[in-house]
Structure 1
Amino acid sequence: MENNPDPNILDKADQREQAVVEQVKETVTAPLPSPPPMQPEATASDLKQRLDWGEPGLTIIDVRDRQAYNQERITGAIPMSMSDLASEAQSALESNRDIYVYGESDEETGQAASDLAAAGFSSVARIKGGLPAWKAISGPTEGQMATV
């Protein structure tokens, strides 16, 4: 007895396969989304939106003193001292890297951003309100005082 498949079943399978191929083609040729644009001053929500977007091409710098950094910081932030900020950043980061910076106050944050710009970094955003603003929107933190 010969096992001949029903031609209608094969046609339906071919149609489903063709639909999947077309869907893949549309996905591959669709334009890639872009991150929210960098602004010189960013809110904690701006940073969170950028992180939620899923693009890891940014660096968060904490210029507070080491004790404050160890106590609690924005998750993923790296410490850099104000006194050596420009040289530390130049040795660790590309000049076109997107950088978000925060300090103990908006004034310290502004000074850090100015120092980075003067050192040749072209894409620097000051996080307005720093760590308290980040915590106010339930942004994740790490360190000795961080809540899980």
Structure 2
Amino acid sequence: MANLHDIVEGVQDALGNLTPTPVILQSESTAHDLKKRLEWAEPALSIIDVRDREAFNQGRITGAMSMPMEQLDEMKSTLQPEHDIYIYAESDDRAHEAAEMLRAAGFKAVTHIVGGLDAWHEIGGPTEGVQEDGIPPEANAYNVVSRLKTEHDVQETGKAQHAN
């Protein structure tokens, strides 16, 4: 009977390395590159959407942060310089411009996603947002006071129905 060490060695030889190899970030990445990293749950990456806030609210890559191009310079201080940064925009040129802006500010691992959100949709990457959910927001969707009042009213209605 083979010992445990020989069995483990045999499995490793047969299957190879099951852990992902570290990524060397290029100036351009594909949607597949990002999806693969997310599927492996690799830490230390940020996804930045430099489109305007309205486009971001309509639909975005799940987990992306909104940093509209016009505000990128002032918002860059919120980014962690040791993270790999993936950027997308309404066009590859715009995403490239944003990536260059961050590189010039000293960020080393910055890439833009070729094809942006469209490429992400094509590979079935997870998204979120109003358009992605297929449910238009109510007029008060972003009004916290109104949402709290609605929640209170629902609770009161439930209490009244329960008491009867």
TM range (shorter): 0.7 to 0.9
**Runs of 4+ in structure 1 displaced over 2 angstroms?**
30-37
Deviations 1:22-78 (Å, cap 9, x if unpaired)? 96xxx9xx9964333211100111111111122121000000001100000000000
Q: Gaps (5+ residues) in structure 1?
A: 1-14
2:23 to 26, 36, 40: 36
Mapped to 2, the partners of 1:50 and 1:35 lie a distance apart of: 10
Matching of residues 47-126 of structure 1 within 5 Å: 47-90=34-77, 92-126=78-112
Mapped contact 2:61–2:126 kept (Cα < 8 A)? yes
Instruction: Return the TM-score normalized by structure 2.
Output: 0.68
SS in 1 for 2:36: helix
Which residue identity lines up with residue 55 of structure 1 in the other structure? E
Deviations 1:86-130 (Å, cap 9, x if unpaired)? 33122x122222000001111110111011111111000110000
Aligned to 1:11: none
Aligned to 1:128: 114
2:33 to 6, 30, 46: 46
Mapped contact 1:35–1:53 kept (Cα < 8 A)? no
Aligned to 1:10: none
Q: Gaps (5+ residues) in structure 2?
A: 135-164
Mapped to 2, the partners of 1:31 and 1:141 lie a distance apart of: 27
Greater Rg, structure 1 or structure 2?
1
SS in 1 for 2:131: coil
Between Structure 1 and Structure 2, how many residues are aligned?
129
Mapped to 1, the partners of 2:37 and 2:25 lie a distance apart of: 9
Quote the RMSD (CA, aligned, Å). Answer: 2.7
